[in-house]
Structure 1
Amino acid sequence: MAGEPQADCLFCKIVAGDVPATVVRESATTVAFRDINPQAPTHVLVIPRVHYPDAGTLAVAEPAIAADVLTEAAAVAAQDKTDASGYRIVFNTGAGAGQTVFHAHAHVLGGRGLNWPPG
């Protein structure tokens, strides 16, 4: 069923507490944790507690939770003090765009120059 935890999903296991993560923020609807392979001094993933495969399906099914992910992304940037210098919020959608875990998530990147366009 859409939104339900998936037994084979790494991020669902992090939400459940079955896989450790360096959690930096939690809300009723989201969990934010440091990326294990950071691409910037601040590299935090913000995930919804509910399972949807990507940002688009999350936004259609649960727009309030999609908004919560963005709200928490901004809070992460403020907490890590990258909000004043600038930060990036990235949603990779699909394997061709670099998505490797198919549970909607936002990457919050900051703390260094982030040239555009990215790689």
Structure 2
Amino acid sequence: MKHAHFFSGRELTDEEIPILSDVHSLAVRPGLSRPLLCHRCGNTSNFSSHPCARCGTNCAYCRNCIQMGKISSCTTLYRWIGPSRRIRSEPERCTGPAHCQPAKRKLPGMFGMQ
């Protein structure tokens, strides 16, 4: 599935989702529930409230999620439940000097070596 790489392992709001074409592959749940619990980070104690432009009420929001994006009482979270993303089964191989990491040298005296 083409969207698995983007969505896998994330809890996103509708504002963070570029396209809602594969809605059948997304689980939907509220951002906050009562008693106050943030479904994105699990916070149960660090909340505040604000007059919300989205729903027109005084919404509670999670103060722990501010840097990731505000999660309010009226926020909906989406989680990927479709096929998991493909992970390469073989590690990448060195194809030339430009693609290789130089070997790390052990310095004398490190890790009990003399």
More helix by share: 1
Higher relative contact order (CA 8 A, sep 6+): 2
